[in-house]
Amino acid sequence: MADATRSALLRPLTSRSPDEPHRAATPLELFFDLCFVVAVAQAAAELHHAVAENHVGHGVFGFLTVFFAIWWAWVNFSWFASAYDNDDVAYRLTTLVQIAGALILAAGVPRAFADDDWKLITLGYVVMRLAMVTQWLRVRHDDPPRRATATRFAVGILLVQVGWVLRLLLPPEWGLPSFLVLVVCELLVPLWAERGRPTRWHPHHIAERYSLFTLIVLGESVLAATVAIEAASGTGYTSALIWLAGAGLVIVFAMWWLYFDRSAHDLLTSFATAFRWGYGHYFILASAAAVGAGLAVVADYDTRSAHMSGVVAAYAVAVPVAVYLLSLWLLQVCPHHRGLVVYAFPVTVVLVLLAPFTPAPIQVIAVLLAALVSVVVLAGAGRGRSPAPEH
């Protein structure tokens, strides 16, 4: 009995097989994603308010920096879990600490946007990252073949966290350069640590983890836009808001369709391609979250509560949609497709960026994305396969 209890509390954190059959996301991973999306929602809400007040540069910078903290902590947890999740009590409690860090970060988002105060966000981020250090120290102890890899991860993460804390002491004019330097350092840690004896992540599991988080972020965009349209409606829904709601739904649904056209697991054939694909998802996920904020801005404009021109309001949707399509094209479309589909994506990006100059820009973007989905579906039919995702 004592041995069984000890085994449940603390099992060796050794590498899982990358060929493990039927590897799927765990309930803990799904709960982790749902808690993290709270921080995503906070960042998107602040982006909405900043752009609606015509503080576009401040809002975009704040959103991209906050989203990096959320995304990078999520990425590190997901790849680590793919290689080492043993689901013991210690692992679960460490994940709880990471979730707590995400919620602390979310609580600090309004203060960062309003007062340029990054203390609470930094605290939440450091809490999440130090929890990963403890996980890597466990791997260092329990997985001798990858002891050097785990040591490099632990040391690299710890040193960069010291940098984030010291950044709070710098004068404001050093804020952007120091942020960019530390971001580069964060991104280089896995590249440095994985030299020699790399970790053994599961391609199907990683592809599913990214797809599920993309799905949740798209759902958050739908929620953000719905709440904004409801708030803007006041005593009743105008025709402009009804058209906006319909077009917004088509846009987000098309984004979902295009991403899930087929699974990406067969792209993850090497560390080089996996790193490129995984890092590139920053742009897919950030733009997916920003679309909801953009639709909320357009709802404010349609009800005369936004302080900007109609063109600027429309670009709040057009730019993230264009970034999403371009990122998806580079990461998943070009490696999978040939012919018309490969050209349809960049053409659609250009047309989306021109749409704000039309009389009904959001509706035009919706039509363009629906047309792009049609091209993808026809291309899939031509290859003799269903457009349904291969999950």
Indicate the pLDDT class of residue 315, thresholds 50, 70 and 90: very high
Q: Is the pLDDT of residue 270 over 90?
A: no
In whole numbers, what is the pLDDT of the chain averaged over residues?
88
Cα separations (Å) of 36 from 133, 220, 228, 323?
A: 19, 11, 21, 22
pLDDT in tens, 116-164: 889 999 999 999 999 999 999 999 999 999 999 999 999 999 999 999 9
Instruction: Mention every residue, 6+ apart, whose C-beta is less than 8 A from residue 38.
Output: 102, 103, 106
> CA 190 to CA 246: how far, in whole Å?
42
- pTM (two decimals): 0.90
Q: What is the distance between the alpha carbons of residues 138 and 322, in angstroms, rounded to a whole number?
A: 42
Q: What is the pLDDT of residue 216?
A: 93
The alpha carbon dihedral of 319, 273, 13, 136 has a sign of negative
For residue 216, the number of C-alpha atoms closer than 13 Å in the C-beta half-sphere is: 18
Distance (Å, whole) CA 96 – CA 285: 23
Residues 334-370: pLDDT tens digits? Answer: 876 677 888 999 999 999 999 999 999 999 999 999 9
Q: What is the mean pLDDT of residues 304-321?
A: 87
- Alpha carbon separation from 308 to 43, 50, 56, 332, 338 (Å, rounded): 21, 11, 10, 35, 41
Give me the pLDDT at residue 388, please: 45
Residue range 50-72, pLDDT digits in tens? 988 888 888 999 999 999 999 99
The pLDDT, as a whole number, for residue 268 is 75
Query: CA-CA distance, 252 to 217, in Å (whole number)?
Result: 11
Ordered by start, the domain boundaries in the chain are: 25-193, 203-382
DSSP 58-119: HHHHHHHHHHHHHHHHHHHHHHHHHHH----HHHHHHHHHHHHHHHHHHHHHHHHHHH---H
pLDDT confidence bin for 389, thresholds 50/70/90: very low
CB 381 within 8 A of CB 261: no
Residue 115 has pLDDT above 90, yes or no: no
Architecture of domain 203-382: Up-down Bundle (1.20)
pLDDT greater than 50 at residue 317: yes
